[in-house]
């Protein structure tokens, strides 16, 4: 990119794959998984690409080498993202970047469009590679639901892929030579925040689901100038974007009124339907549960007085209540795309979920040891606790601005004891003191990953036959671990070590 001020490209708001990208000077903010994919897609269409990232570790250096071979300009290291270059027509940001980040704040001030990788991918599939998107968001359950949805679509004989926040960038699928029939797209609040609204090329889903809305990631919204709205309101507004211009079905959680309000307020294509899911007997235009069967009263002709069996509860693994809700949402999205009933049950039975999601890692002396390290906020921990009757709870980590009062008050009578660790362990301890003062609490002050070993030993001393020792931290893990998976692995190793002591 040369010097000088950018000349406005009058086509950028309506840009698609066939636009004159050779004119476009694009800054990609961040060289993570999505940033690399975005840069790759931009280079394929001929854009002039400049990638900026403060992190110059080995992984980023390797990715930079690849992109530079394709004629991108990559700048890594401290200070590279403090000032937006003059000659920029478009900024494509990594999803976690806050609006106050210098590059993004400067772009907004100068009126330069800011897209996320998801929007870029949506645009670059038009007009010649268009694939319908079935999209999933929510505070908890997104990844599991997206995996279920992908498995159901594959069981129906469709070419599909799970993409987005689940780990594989949408851009990869757009660049893939596979002619997909439909994509299962997991979208985080961050990804949704950076999608434009109201334009001719703004992302629009075939069908979309919001699974639930609970406080999480609220620190991302603090001090970001959201016109006086509370962080939870801004977070909810970003989640609600998934319904904008939906063409077929807006899927919501009957037990979570916030998701239904989102549907009621959404600007959708005329004729789009509202489809509820419930653990109870479904009303019309809903999926629900009858006598241990998952049934459909939404996508059947005689829905006023009949329902269609899709699967059995035992087809869902694990069959905890929140996971059955995930299955109902996945089934609703698949059915909105015309998938038959047989494929729903087959897809659920075929699915093997990744670890650290209510995974029993050991049973010893009548005590079950369960790893739900993926429960990184109180609402997710609540889902775990609903599945068990007597719990020794291991919790703590990065609370991300959330509170634990409702969680503790709801499950106080189930708690045999609690073991707390991590940077925000005091937040959990204070909630226990207020709402479960009689529950024994052990606080582990070790700030290293070895804390999980002490926590497991303390939990073992509290547990009695019939109890479940449940790692459902309700907090993120990166105060001590590289991610929730590493925390879960260390938990499992510490439980195994009990038998060797």
Token pair listed for 141: 């359950």
On whether 212 is known to bind a ligand per the annotation, the reply is no
User: Is 310 in a helix, a strand, or coil?
Assistant: strand
On whether 139 is known to bind a ligand per the annotation, the reply is yes
Under 8 Å CB-to-CB from 198, ≥6 apart: which residues?
none
DSSP designation for 358: S
Place of tokens 């159901």: 152
Cα-to-chain-centroid distance, residue 177: 26
3-state DSSP helix/strand/coil % of the chain, to nearest 5: 35, 20, 45
On whether 33 is known to bind a ligand per the annotation, the reply is no
Residue 205 to residue 250: CA distance in whole angstroms? 9
DSSP designation for 501: -
On whether 143 is known to bind a ligand per the annotation, the reply is yes
Radius of gyration of the chain (CA): 24
Note whether 374 and 472 are within 8 A (CB).
no
On whether 374 is known to bind a ligand per the annotation, the reply is no
Distances (CA, A) of 67 to 64, 80, 84: 5, 17, 20
User: Is 309 in a helix, a strand, or coil?
Assistant: strand
On whether 366 is known to bind a ligand per the annotation, the reply is no
Is beta strand 48-53 parallel, antiparallel or unpaired with respect to 25-29? parallel
Token pair listed for 78: 């401290």
CA angle centred on 242, ends 196 and 273, rounded to 5°: 125
Q: How many residues in total does the chain contain?
A: 501
On whether 142 is known to bind a ligand per the annotation, the reply is yes
Is beta strand 182-186 parallel, antiparallel or unpaired with respect to 133-137? parallel
Q: Could you tell me which residues are annotated as the binding site? A: 138-144
Q: Could you tell me which residues are annotated as the binding site for ATP? A: 138-144
């Amino acid at each position: 990119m040369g010097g000088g001020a950018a000349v406005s490209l009058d086509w950028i708001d309506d840009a698609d794959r066939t636009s004159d990208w050779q004119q476009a000077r694009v800054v990609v903010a961040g060289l993570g998984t999505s940033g690399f994919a975005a840069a790759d897609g931009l280079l394929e269409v001929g854009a002039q690409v400049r990638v900026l990232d403060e992190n110059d570790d080995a992984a980023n250096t390797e990715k930079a080498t690849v992109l530079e071979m394709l004629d991108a300009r990559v700048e890594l290291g401290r200070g590279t993202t403090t000032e937006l270059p003059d000659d920029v027509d478009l900024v494509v940001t990594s999803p976690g970047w806050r609006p106050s980040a210098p590059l993004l704040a400067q772009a907004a001030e100068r009126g330069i469009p800011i897209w996320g990788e998801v929007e870029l991918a949506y645009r670059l599939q038009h007009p010649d590679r268009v694939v319908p998107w079935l999209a999933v968001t929510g505070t908890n359950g997104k990844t599991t639901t997206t995996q279920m949805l992908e498995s159901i679509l594959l069981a129906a004989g469709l070419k599909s892929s799970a993409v987005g926040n689940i780990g594989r960038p949408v851009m990869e699928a757009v660049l893939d030579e596979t002619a997909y029939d439909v994509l299962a797209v997991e979208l985080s609040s961050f990804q949704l925040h950076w999608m434009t609204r109201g334009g001719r090329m703004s992302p629009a889903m075939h069908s979309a689901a919001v699974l639930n809305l609970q406080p999480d990631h609220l620190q991302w919204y603090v001090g970001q100038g959201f016109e006086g709205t509370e962080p939870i309101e801004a977070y909810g507004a970003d989640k609600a974007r998934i319904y904008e211009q939906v063409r077929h079905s807006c899927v919501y959680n009957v037990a979570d009124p916030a998701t239904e309000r989102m549907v009621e307020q959404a600007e959708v294509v005329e004729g789009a339907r509202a489809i509820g899911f419930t653990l109870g007997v479904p009303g019309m235009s809903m999926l629900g549960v009858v006598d241990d069967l998952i049934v459909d009263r939404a996508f059947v002709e005689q829905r006023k007085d009949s329902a269609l069996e899709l699967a059995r509860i035992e087809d869902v693994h694990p069959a905890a209540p929140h996971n059955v809700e995930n299955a109902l949402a996945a089934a609703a999205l698949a059915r909105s795309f015309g998938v038959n009933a047989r494929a729903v049950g087959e897809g659920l039975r075929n699915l093997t979920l990744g670890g650290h999601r209510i995974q029993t890692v050991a049973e010893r002396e009548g005590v079950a040891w369960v790893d739900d390290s993926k429960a990184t906020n109180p609402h997710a921990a609540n889902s775990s606790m609903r599945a068990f009757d007597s719990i020794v709870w291991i919790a703590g980590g990065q609370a991300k601005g959330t509170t634990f009062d409702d969680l503790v008050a709801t499950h106080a009578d189930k708690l045999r004891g609690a073991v707390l660790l991590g940077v925000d362990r005091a937040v959990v301890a204070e909630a226990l003191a207020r709402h479960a003062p009689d529950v024994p609490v052990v606080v582990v002050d070790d700030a290293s990953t070895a804390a999980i070993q002490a926590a497991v030993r303390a939990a073992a001393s509290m547990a009695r036959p019939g109890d479940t020792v449940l790692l459902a931290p309700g907090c993120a893990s990166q105060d001590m671990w590289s991610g929730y998976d590493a925390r879960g692995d260390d938990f499992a190793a510490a439980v195994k070590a009990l038998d060797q002591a």
